[in-house]
Amino acid sequence: MIFGLCASAVFGTLLGLFYALQTFLIDELWISPRVSPLQNAAMLVLVGAMILITTHFFGQLPQNYGKIRLQLRESGTANYRFVLLQMIFPAFILISGTSLGPEATLVSSTLLYGTWLRDKLRYYDLHFDLLQRFSGWQKWRRLLAINKYVLRTPVDSPAMLPLSARLKKVLTLAFFLQTEFSGLSSSSR
């Protein structure tokens, strides 16, 4: 239970930090008339190179909301492997005046963080007795491993349907806290 609460608070904080980073970068590096045309051109070239490189190595960042929903419907989970990168690179891309808004990053990141937390809490719920036998450090190592020790259950699997009452409460509370912390961070902007 504490893990879900802490993870939700961390995710909300990360979403708020994205807004803070974006605001800082726009204030400091925004392409504007007060900056020389040569500096504006250099910034556009750098941002263009960043877009090409990130697309080549990591795919579209941020991930498309529709594609995430399709992954969730088809497989019961989504690819959250690059969720942190999808919050860093778009913050830099936004300073070039692209049409991408911060909402695309925030919506897909919130969905991906929530999916990861759900998969992790499924693992925790199923292996609760095993995890209780580990020491504190071993338990936290398993819980914090990003792509290990998660339970990705297909949508049509009977194992996905019966969730324990404990897991339902934790997921509901975790989702509430994640949206609440992310809302506090964006309103204090």
Closest to 113 (Cα-Cα) out of 88, 143, 78: 78
CA distances from 23 to 30, 102, 127, 130 (A): 10, 10, 42, 44
Task: For 15-55, write each residue's pLDDT tens digit.
Answer: 888 888 887 877 777 656 666 778 778 878 888 898 899 88
Classify each residue of 12-35 as buried b or exposed e, where b means 16 or more C-beta atoms within 10 Å of its C-beta. Answer: bebbbebbebbeeebeebebeeee
Q: How far apart are CA 41 and CA 189, in angstroms?
A: 29
Which pTM does this prediction carry? 0.69
- For residue 188, name the pLDDT band (cuts at 50, 70, 90): very low
pLDDT score of 159 more than 50: no
Mean pLDDT across 76-91: 82
Using CA atoms, how far apart are residues 88 and 100, in angstroms rounded to an integer?
14
